[in-house]
Structures are given as structure tokens and as C-alpha cells.
Amino acid sequence: MRAPKAKVEFDVEANTAYYTLRRGKVATTVPKRLDSVDVLLDYDSKGRLLGIEVLNMKKALERDLSKMGRNYIPKALAVAPRVR
């Protein structure tokens, strides 16, 4: 079985980015703070991580654009508790 492709959407007006990791209906959203950047972790009813929203994207990008792709998403996945 193939893993679904992740998708990234940017909302310039809202200053956010959303990383879709899998399709599904969001049942729970958990706020987290990673390296002074606020993120929202979306889970389905089975506790599977569906997506990650990065708030204040301009601030996150100013910190270090190359570091972000390597570190923020894996960190978000590492701190994401399974919701039951």
C-alpha cells in the first residue's frame, strides 16, 4: 500500500501554511509551540495525525528557511501525541 503524498498550502493573507499528511475528518486540534513558532496538529477520531498548520509563517520563514523543512515538521511529528 502506497503512502499518501503530503501537500503544502500557503495562505498569504492569514500568514499560515498547512501541511496535509493524510485525508480525513479532523476530530481534534492540539496547539503546540516549537522553537517560538506556533503550530496546530490536526487528528482524526482514531488519533492519526492528518495535518500540521504553521501559524505566523513569515516569522517561521525568517528564522531559517532551510532549517524549517528539515526540523520543524519532524519535530511536530515527534511531539504529536496520539489522541484517543
Residue indicated by cell numbers 492540539: 30
Reduced DSSP (H G I as helix, E B as strand, rest coil) percent helix, strand, coil of the chain, to 5: 25, 35, 40
The x, y and z cell numbers of residue 32, run together, are 503546540
Alpha-helical regions (H) of 1-64: 57-63
Tell me, what CATH number does 43's domain have? 3.30.390
Residue 51 lies in a domain: yes
Please tell me the total count of domains within the chain.
1
Specify if 13 maps to a domain: yes
Please state whether the predicted TM-score (pTM) of the whole model is above 0.85. no
- Asked whether residue 2 is assigned to any structural domain, the reply reads no
Write out the chain's pLDDT in tens, 84 residues: 566 678 889 888 898 999 999 999 999 999 999 877 899 999 999 999 999 999 988 777 766 555 555 555 555 555 555 554
Q: Are 72 and 54 in contact (CB under 8 A)?
A: yes
For residue 1, is it within any domain?
no
Range of the domain at 52: 7-79
